[in-house]
């Protein structure tokens, strides 16, 4: 019986090749999307789960509440909280602190900057990290021990056995030898903690720090199985209030910091998708779970659209199968038997599409990985769960696509079917609404795509308020200020190098008092006198720093317009800013026009510029000529390496750095473009199929009309207008939804485009045009056909 069903199903698929192809292509693309997204979500859910202690590991996080009730959530703590809590609360069995750093590593003549992690020596008894060589015994015990990942070991030692060999690492400004005690296997891709170089926390400068209110590292606890979290948090509050009493008092009296600190335990498994307490300071960044939902939603939409094609084409085609259904019933086929047959056909089709989908997934996985910043593969995610969910997706799809047609077709009355009295009663509202649904989704995606492109263009072409062209930015830190002067002089000897400047590197926030003791928050930027001219940032009031004025580096500052506005200064020149905690006052000598050095996802902060008086420099900037760029770059690199012997040279162009800030947007742009392309493609092949059938059904009518003198245009209009009405309705429905969605999305950006009606008009026009072209093919074919042929065949 099954074999007979298979045979008919395959012959039917074969006889209606065009529709089978449409269905299979649509379904396989849609299923591939679903499978990819399932892989993605599987990976997200599996984060950190491989740890044997996963359910008992918690991270210590902090809620900081200001006296005015503003709550600040922090994922990091100080150095002291781990050991103190463990000592006084027995349910906390172990603590591990993990601190990240970016250090210079020397091996022979090679010098590199590396991301490293410092961790307490019991790291390997709390977290699961298999070793490739070496042993867990005394693994991080010595102050000079180091654990490498297999990649890093290979980078420095090639094929040699690295155990017992040493690397020189610059910790606290001094190169010290570290001996390799073990090599770990590569950390799983779904691990928040990715080991490259693991150093004992003892070797870090902050190891003995006793400050509670200085937050800079991740503290993990392994807690006793079954311990009550609420009670633990209450105990921690008591311990904190006892132990940190004097520090809390000092902070309030000396710095005016009266914030309340509350410690919370966050499960390890919650870190990866937490937006409240994200993974920071050396952990693989958290991903907003909304990404999973959005991607899942898109995949589901695409699948629905493909299923709609199946339903619509099957219904439209069923006219042809009326006779077969009638016969089957007359020779004794029961309704259930027919339902099984039709469902079987939809499952065969779905199964073929499913197999093709798997192949498709394998093919596009590399592209998808680069888009989603992941390294997904079947190999490590293959699990019973994945297989079950894939199977479920397939079963659901087959049912969703086949159920309604099966029910409808099996319900035909055999007498009416065989005497050709079977009519499609009603106006086929279902088919029509399904087409509308498809094109609503397609229009929605297209409007979204255009808006996202437009916003992206807006962000990347925004006038930043400074010139980032031809500026080489050299990332470094702790650059000696005397050496910097030599570097600058050397570089300026080259006629292709126009200017050289530096800042302190990184972002520094501060508070100070202005006017009559009012507090103001701002960013501090330490620069030299060439900073503003190099970036061509205009000084709107007063003057720039000057090398000649000795007082400038001692007590002069500049502020940006935002700062001046926030301070409420009409004439800022000569105003005083009081850095009360270091007992120093500075005088404003100039105001700079607001400029966006950071990305546009934030408003311009109030900023205060100082001429760097004593400390070392951070980033260096070199403005070069448009011509001879390569020669200039070589010259800069040569000079740098000659002067800064053990510093790695890392450079980039400032304008490229700026463009890179919108990587997330660029990826969304690609994802939404792909979704839009797929939805419009699948919707259109569906529409194409429907138009084919409709033209076939109306062949005779068209023949009669032509004989009666209808023109070709008239017939084309007649045939396409019905479909276009549906598509038009879809665009009308999609517009407000898309407007709302895009409006909400744009709200996230402080600098954004306003939604224009042309976006909608363009999208609607585009969808209508595509739909028209799709339908047109058949309309034209039918309209220019010789009516004699179609009438004679009747």
- Of 2 and 548, the one with the shorter C-beta distance to another protein is 2
CA–CA distance, 197 with 152 (Å, rounded to integer):
7
Give the CB-side neighbour count of residue 22, counting CA atoms within 13 A.
25
3-class state of residue 108 by DSSP: coil
3-class state of residue 516 by DSSP: coil
Lookup result for tokens 């928050």: 521
Query: Least CB distance from residue 9 to another protein, whole Å?
Result: 10
Helix and strand counts by DSSP (H, E) for the chain:
25, 22
Write the DSSP assignment of 726-777 as a string of letters. HHHHHHHHHHHHHHHHHHHHHTT-SS-PPPPHHHHHHHHHHHHHHHHHHHHH
- Of 325 and 620, the one with the shorter C-beta distance to another protein is 325
Task: Identify which of 522, 492, 462, 463 has the alpha carbon closest to the alpha carbon of residue 620.
Answer: 492
CA–CA distance, 603 with 599 (Å, rounded to integer):
9
Query: Least CB distance from residue 349 to another protein, whole Å?
Result: 16
CA–CA distance, 737 with 744 (Å, rounded to integer):
11
- Of 345 and 468, the one with the shorter C-beta distance to another protein is 345
Interacting residues with another protein (CB under 8 A): 1, 3-4, 7-8, 11-12, 15, 323-324, 326-328, 330-334, 337, 414-415, 418-419
3-class state of residue 117 by DSSP: strand
Write the DSSP assignment of 224-291 as a string of letters. -TT--HHHHHHHHHHHHHHHTHHHHHHHHHHH----EEEEEEEEHHHHTT-SSS---TTSPPP--HHH
Strand ranges for 344-502 from DSSP E: 471-474, 497-502
Task: Identify which of 101, 350, 374, 59 has the alpha carbon closest to the alpha carbon of residue 233.
Answer: 59
- Of 296 and 414, the one with the shorter C-beta distance to another protein is 414
CA–CA distance, 713 with 135 (Å, rounded to integer):
83
- Of 11 and 469, the one with the shorter C-beta distance to another protein is 11
Query: Least CB distance from residue 320 to another protein, whole Å?
Result: 10
- Of 319 and 728, the one with the shorter C-beta distance to another protein is 319
Query: Least CB distance from residue 695 to another protein, whole Å?
Result: 22
- Of 327 and 510, the one with the shorter C-beta distance to another protein is 327
Taking residue 598's Cβ as centre, other Cβ atoms within 10 Å add up to 15
Whether the CB-CB separation of 274 and 64 falls below 8 Å is answered with no
């Amino acid at each position: 019986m099954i074999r007979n069903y298979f045979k008919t199903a395959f012959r039917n698929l074969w006889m209606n090749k065009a529709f089978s192809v449409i269905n299979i292509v649509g379904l396989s693309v849609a299923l591939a999307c679903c499978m990819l997204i399932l892989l993605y979500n599987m990976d997200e859910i599996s984060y950190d789960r491989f740890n044997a202690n996963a359910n008992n590991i918690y991270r210590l996080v902090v809620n900081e509440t200001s006296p005015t009730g503003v709550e600040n959530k922090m994922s990091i703590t100080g150095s002291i909280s781990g050991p103190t809590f463990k000592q006084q609360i027995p349910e906390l069995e172990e603590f591990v602190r993990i601190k990240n750093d970016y250090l210079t590593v020397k091996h022979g003549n090679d010098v590199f900057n590396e991301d490293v992690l410092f961790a307490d020596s019991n790291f390997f008894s709390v977290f699961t990290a298999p070793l490739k060589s070496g042993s867990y015994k005394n693994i991080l015990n010595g102050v000079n021990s180091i654990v490498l990942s297999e990649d890093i070991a290979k980078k420095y030692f090639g094929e040699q056995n690295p155990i017992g060999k040493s690397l020189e690492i610059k910790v606290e400004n001094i190169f010290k030898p570290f001996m390799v005690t073990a090599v770990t296997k590569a950390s799983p891709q779904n691990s928040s903690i990715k080991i490259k170089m693991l150093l004992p926390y003892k070797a870090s400068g902050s190891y003995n720090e006793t400050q509670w209110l200085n937050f800079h590292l991740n503290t993990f606890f392994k807690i006793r199985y079954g311990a009550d979290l609420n009670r633990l948090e209450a105990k921690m509050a008591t311990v904190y209030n006892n132990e940190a009493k004097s520090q809390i008092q000092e902070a309030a009296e000396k710095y005016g910091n009266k914030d309340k600190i509350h410690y919370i335990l966050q499960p390890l498994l919650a870190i990866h998708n937490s937006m409240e307490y994200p993974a920071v300071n050396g952990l693989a960044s958290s991903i907003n779970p909304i990404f999973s939902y959005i991607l899942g939603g898109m995949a589901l939409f695409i699948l629905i659209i493909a299923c709609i094609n199946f339903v619509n084409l099957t219904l439209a085609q069923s006219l042809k199968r009326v006779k077969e259904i009638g016969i089957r019933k007359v020779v004794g086929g029961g309704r259930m038997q027919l339902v099984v047959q039709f469902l079987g056909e939809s499952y065969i089709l779905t199964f073929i599409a499913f197999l093709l989908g798997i192949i498709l997934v394998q093919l596009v996985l590399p592209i998808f990985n680069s888009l989603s910043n992941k390294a997904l593969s079947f190999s490590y995610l293959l699990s019973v769960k994945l297989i079950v969910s894939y199977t479920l997706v397939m079963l659901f799809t087959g049912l969703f696509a086949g159920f309604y047609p099966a029910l409808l077709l099996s319900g035909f009355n055999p007498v009416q079917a065989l005497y050709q009295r079977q009519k499609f009663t009603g106006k086929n509202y279902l088919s029509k609404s399904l087409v509308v649904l498809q094109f609503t989704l397609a229009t929605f995606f297209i409007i979204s795509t255009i808006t996202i492109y437009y916003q992206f263009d807006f962000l990347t072409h925004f006038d930043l308020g400074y010139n980032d062209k031809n500026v080489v930015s050299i990332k470094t830190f702790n650059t000696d200020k005397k050496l910097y002067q030599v570097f600058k002089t050397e570089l300026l000897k080259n006629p292709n190098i126009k200017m050289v400047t530096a800042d302190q590197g990184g972002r520094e926030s501060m508070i100070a008092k202005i006017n009559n003791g009012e507090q103001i928050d701002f960013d501090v930027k330490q620069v030299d006198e060439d900073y503003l001219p190099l970036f061509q940032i205009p000084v709107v009031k007063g003057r720039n720093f000057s090398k000649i004025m000795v007082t400038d580096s001692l007590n002069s500052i500049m502020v940006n317009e935002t700062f001046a506005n926030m301070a409420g200064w009409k004439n800022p020149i000569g105003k005083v800013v009081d850095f009360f905690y270091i007992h120093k006052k500075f005088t404003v000598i100039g105001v700079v026009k607001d400029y966006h050095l950071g990305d546009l996802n934030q408003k311009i902060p109030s900023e205060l510029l100082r001429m760097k008086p004593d400390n070392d420099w951070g980033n260096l900037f070199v403005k070069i000529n448009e011509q001879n760029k390569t020669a200039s770059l070589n010259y800069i690199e040569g000079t740098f390496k000659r002067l800064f012997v053990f510093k790695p040279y890392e450079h980039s162009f400032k304008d490229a750095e700026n463009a890179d800030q919108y990587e997330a947007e660029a990826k969304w742009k690609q994802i939404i473009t792909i979704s839009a392309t797929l939805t419009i493609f699948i919707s259109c092949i569906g529409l194409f199929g429907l138009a084919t059938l409709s033209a076939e059904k109306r062949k005779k009518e068209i023949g009669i009309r032509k004989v009666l003198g209808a023109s070709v245009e008239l017939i084309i209009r007649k045939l396409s207008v019905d479909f276009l009405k549906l598509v038009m309705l879809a665009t009308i429905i999609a517009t407000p939804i898309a407007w709302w969605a895009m409006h909400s999305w744009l709200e996230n950006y402080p600098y954004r485009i306003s939604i224009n009606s042309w976006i909608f008009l363009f999208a609607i026009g585009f969808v209508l045009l595509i739909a028209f072209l799709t339908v047109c093919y058949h309309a034209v074919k039918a309209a220019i056909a010789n009516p004699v042929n179609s009438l004679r065949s009747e």
